[in-house]
Structure 1
Amino acid sequence: MSERMHPADAAWLQMEEPTSLMVITAVLWFDGPVDWERLTDVVRERLVERYPRFRQRVVPGGLLGTARWEDDPAFRLETHLRRTRLRAPGGRAELEKRVGESMGTPLDFSRPLWELHLIQGYEEGGALLMRVHHCIADGISLARVLLSLTDERAGGGGRAEDFEEAEDASGTLARLLRGARKVATSTRSAWKRGAELLSEPIQLMDLAVEGARGASALSRLLTLMQDPPSPFTGELGRVKRVAWSKPVPVGKVREIGHGTGSTVNDVVMAVVAGTLRRYVEARGKVPEDLRAVVPVNLRPLNEPIPRELGNRFGVVFLPLPLGVEDPVERLWELKRRMDRLKRSPEAAVVFGILSAAGMAPAVLERGAVEVMRKKTSLVLTSVPGPKRPVYLAGARLGGVMFWVPMAARLGLGLSTFSYAGHVTLGVAADAGLVPEPRDLIEDFEAELDSLAEAVRESGHSHPLH
């Protein structure tokens, strides 16, 4: 079987560089040992047999052609599902080092672009490292695919499909998502019209602009000022490092939100802004606002994931208020900026840009990526997981961390993952720019406590205008 790759997926192939791999990374850790035979059966039945992309390799399209999916005649599950053992003493530091090392290792393009490693010897249980190229699917879809391997009970049964919502999908946000999904559907329909679009890829962009009131949003994207220099930007190397926080009870975050009229996501984003401010100040720099690329899911979480997977997301550019000193004022300013973005069609427009870029020559796409790199400083994602504890191959899942690629040659990726009533922050960074990502984790935990205390002391329940 051979199938043309959707241009939004092909864009991620063209962005691949030795110092910036377009690979989504997830690490799961367990309270007990994972049964190897049972894991193998689960991966075969629920991943490989259900989703064809995990049995297909990429066939490059050449100078002007489009890449294609092709069944791999030599596919063997054991080449993608492997067992390794963690270095002693087998704690979080050793696991973080292993995950960081994987982020600098490219996948084998002669085979389907994914791998799963069962890491034994981690604390009292084990860990699972999954790496999937972004051309196969976006982060939200892959998180759902990965968690579809789990069960509600140790003995099996009761698939985990009840996900935490990272944001309140009501009001203006719901209207934004409906419009963006309509644009995504229109773009897919246009792609099916076939070869005529190869000569005029701008038609895809036209659909996005017309369908989502995108002209003003596109103008805003093109006229954004460059981000100021910071410790998070610069030349990249091949060495990457990661760290993640202790799980934070969602109740603690929600309490801060109730005290300020903010959502859980507003609070988490504000804490991230405060974290970056602390990090910059500690290195003798004056904190200035920095823009984060924030992916926005264009697929409803209550709809089944299509067998062909694929990328159906846009991004918005969120200016993080590092320049605001007071933590409560910083939260309110962040909330104002988030509310403005919720009323914008920006995410749908960027989906159209990605679709058009996937059909453009690589040199043109690299130019677009360079423009994006100058206007942003980091990638910031929020991934919802199951509301209740789940099990994989009989082992109880203790926690999850998940990172999307740091596209546009960015050197810092921050990700929050919600699971079983807790939120965890993960840091992935270029080692030459952020040599000790654990510093950012410590700043995050300190900033969360500082904001909670500041909200209690302020006594305000609504933003001041």
Structure 2
Amino acid sequence: MAAVTAANGKSSGGAKSADFTAVEIGEALSPTASLFHSPKLNCCIIAVLGSKTAIDPAVVKSGLERTLIRHPRFSSRLVVDDHGCRGRKLRWEKTMVELDDHIIIPNLDDDDGDGEIFTTSPDSAVEDYISRLSTFPMDVTKPLWELHILNVKTRDAESLFVFKIHHSIGDGASLISLLLACARKSSDPNALPSVPVKNRRARRQGVVSASGFCWSLVWLIWAVVRLVWNTLVDVLLVNATVLFLRDTRTPIKGPATGEGRNGKRFVHRTVSLGDIKMVKNAMNMTINDVLLGVTEAGISRYLNRKYGEDQQHRGTESQKLDIPRNIRLRASVLVNLRPTTGIQDLADLMAKGPKEKWGWGNWIGYLMLPLTISSQDDPLEHVRRGKSIIDRKKLSLEPVFTCLGARVVIQTLGVKVASWIANRVLFNTTLAFSNMAGPVEEISFYGHPLSYLAPTVYGHPHALTIHFQSYCNTITISLAVDPGLIPDPHVLCDDLEDSLKAIKEAVVQKFVQKDPGIV
């Protein structure tokens, strides 16, 4: 494969970052942000935004000058102070932002000097280019973000914005909110995007009977008991995972040494949000429940095929080998514990500068979701199990304890020890899983209407990361895989999509035909 040539677009001049006196120069990195700069957890976020029109770089640069580079983290560079035996200290230092150093406009079909020209399809060329971004470290002499503009027509977009942002700048939820704060509704260029609001059960009005009060008290006591018990069990399992508890070795679980050697391959698939909502409504669940069930069903399909292929390669007569029993396979989920700054607040921050205290940074805990990998005659069993798992995790303080534990370890034993512990947890589990709610209507990014959003992350030891991102009436499934272990990520996308279809068909047969009002 030919190397990708890239040339920075020209502009009238470098844009300067705004002067934010409220942000102290030399602000130290938070403990978690420092952790993201350790060698084994040097994580970056890749966010692909599909545009429905060709991208005008001049318009984008003008928009960035008014918004993104006015954010303190996007106008600060990383400074490393060496303290000898006391180790090194990392801090943010404000700097002048030259947009030409951050906006990259590549030529995907240009000769790179070795006589070879891209002959693959546009989609493959784009995948190759984006995947190559995971093989190059960020330049720490400038703010830790890049925007790659790909004016190449693909299967589901006319052109692409590709952001590469170091994870130390912020957690995924905050960064997505920030990008949305730079966008506007396509129907109203002056209005910020709208995101879904969690429905909260309305409080009961009126007089509560004595018996009702007693039952409520009993339920509350039982919930507290379950919370304490679940938290205790989960914290013990986390400690066991650090020390010895390891997931079963399967075709999707890779060694820690795989990260950084092969880079990552990024692919995505867009499915209907309406199908997921229909399953949710019919089975009285949440979207998270359904997505976890789809993930379990899709991975089961993929592994069943892989084990079947393995048996055929061994020369056996059977055409199919069922998945081995008692596979231990867990998904790690990062949980943002800091209240996410609202889109309007972020827009105000970029327009007026930050207040004295502003909520930003990485305040992250994690939890582990056990997945049952098996072939099911009834695909709805995967969804029911997903709901059961999430309902239990809702009554656990596992992410709070892991976050506080990580901060204590960093402050007492240092980043290296904390990095080793975090790496052990991730290495001993199989995949990373996340889901994020996006805008409910079409938005435009600096005047360019978007067709989809596909964020993901790399830099951790997992060979597989699955991220679900909603946008309008669709959900994009983004995969980041180690190509040395998972050479066919599009097949895994097929399995996830086919699993959703099977679950939807089962719901139609069992629920919708009996009660059409569910749809």
Q: Which of 320, 330, 348 is 1:291 aligned to?
A: 330
Separation in structure 2 between the aligned mates of residue 357 and residue 82 of structure 1, nearest angstrom:
39
Task: Determine if contact 2:329/2:370 at 8 Å carries over to the other structure.
Answer: yes
Higher mean alpha-carbon deviation, 322-331 vs 385-394, is at 322-331
Aligned to 1:420: 472
Does the alignment pair 1:259 with 2:282?
yes
Structure 1 residues 39 and 90: CA distance shift in structure 2, 3 A: farther
Aligned to 1:331: 383
Aligned-partner SS, 1:84: strand
Aligned to 1:76: 98
Q: Which of 320, 332, 339 is 2:371 aligned to?
A: 320
Separation in structure 2 between the aligned mates of residue 313 and residue 155 of structure 1, nearest angstrom:
34
Does the alignment pair 1:133 with 2:166?
yes
Residues 68-107 of structure 1 mapped to structure 2, 5 A cutoff:
68-72=91-95, 75-87=97-109, 91-107=122-138
Task: Determine if contact 2:47/2:455 at 8 Å carries over to the other structure.
Answer: yes
Aligned residues: 413
Does the alignment pair 1:448 with 2:489?
no
Structure 1 residues 363 and 393: CA distance shift in structure 2, 3 A: closer
Does the alignment pair 1:10 with 2:20?
no
Deviations 1:112-143 (A, max 9, x none): 11111111122463110101111110001111
Separation in structure 2 between the aligned mates of residue 38 and residue 105 of structure 1, nearest angstrom:
28
Q: CA deviation at 1:261?
A: 2.0
Deviations 1:270-319 (A, max 9, x none): 11111111111111172534111112232445743575631133221111
Separation in structure 2 between the aligned mates of residue 170 and residue 21 of structure 1, nearest angstrom:
41
Structure 2 gaps of 5+ residues are: 1-24, 110-117, 203-227, 309-322, 515-519
Structure 1 gaps of 5+ residues are: 172-210
Structure 1 residues 38 and 212: CA distance shift in structure 2, 3 A: farther
Aligned to 2:431: 378
Deviations 1:53-91 (A, max 9, x none): 112111224453431111235x31210122223447763
Structure 1 residues 155 and 170: CA distance shift in structure 2, 3 A: closer
Q: CA deviation at 1:262?
A: 1.7
Q: Which of 63, 66, 86 is 1:42 aligned to?
A: 63
Q: CA deviation at 1:11?
A: 1.2
Aligned to 2:317: none
Separation in structure 2 between the aligned mates of residue 366 and residue 8 of structure 1, nearest angstrom:
10
Q: CA deviation at 1:169?
A: 6.4
Q: CA RMSD in A?
A: 2.7
Task: Determine if contact 1:35/1:393 at 8 Å carries over to the other structure.
Answer: no
Q: Which of 393, 396, 399 is 2:449 aligned to?
A: 396
Task: Determine if contact 2:304/2:375 at 8 Å carries over to the other structure.
Answer: no
Q: CA deviation at 1:385?
A: 1.2
Q: What TM-score comes out, normalization by structure 2 length?
A: 0.74
Separation in structure 2 between the aligned mates of residue 378 and residue 214 of structure 1, nearest angstrom:
22
Aligned-partner SS, 2:89: coil
Q: CA deviation at 1:92?
A: 2.9
Aligned-partner SS, 1:122: coil
Q: CA deviation at 1:374?
A: 4.2
Separation in structure 2 between the aligned mates of residue 159 and residue 85 of structure 1, nearest angstrom:
33
Task: Determine if contact 2:35/2:419 at 8 Å carries over to the other structure.
Answer: no
Deviations 1:340-372 (A, max 9, x none): 001111111222133234434343124303430
Aligned to 1:195: none
Structure 1 residues 213 and 261: CA distance shift in structure 2, 3 A: closer
Q: CA deviation at 1:254?
A: 1.1
Q: What TM-score comes out, normalization by structure 1 length?
A: 0.82
Aligned to 1:121: 152
Task: Determine if contact 1:7/1:356 at 8 Å carries over to the other structure.
Answer: no
Separation in structure 2 between the aligned mates of residue 156 and residue 387 of structure 1, nearest angstrom:
15
Aligned to 1:177: none
Separation in structure 2 between the aligned mates of residue 61 and residue 345 of structure 1, nearest angstrom:
36
Task: Determine if contact 1:154/1:393 at 8 Å carries over to the other structure.
Answer: no
Aligned to 1:274: 297
Structure 1 residues 214 and 61: CA distance shift in structure 2, 3 A: farther
Q: CA deviation at 1:28?
A: 0.6
What amino acid is aligned across from residue 239 of structure 2 in structure 1?
L
Separation in structure 2 between the aligned mates of residue 323 and residue 60 of structure 1, nearest angstrom:
49
Deviations 1:244-288 (A, max 9, x none): 11x222211111122222212111111111111111111117253
Structure 1 residues 435 and 90: CA distance shift in structure 2, 3 A: closer
Q: Which of 65, 68, 75 is 1:55 aligned to?
A: 75
Structure 1 residues 436 and 126: CA distance shift in structure 2, 3 A: same
Q: Which of 171, 192, 195 is 1:163 aligned to?
A: 195
Task: Determine if contact 2:380/2:506 at 8 Å carries over to the other structure.
Answer: yes
Structure 1 residues 6 and 21: CA distance shift in structure 2, 3 A: closer
Task: Determine if contact 2:467/2:479 at 8 Å carries over to the other structure.
Answer: yes
Q: Which of 254, 260, 266 is 1:242 aligned to?
A: 266
Aligned to 1:179: none
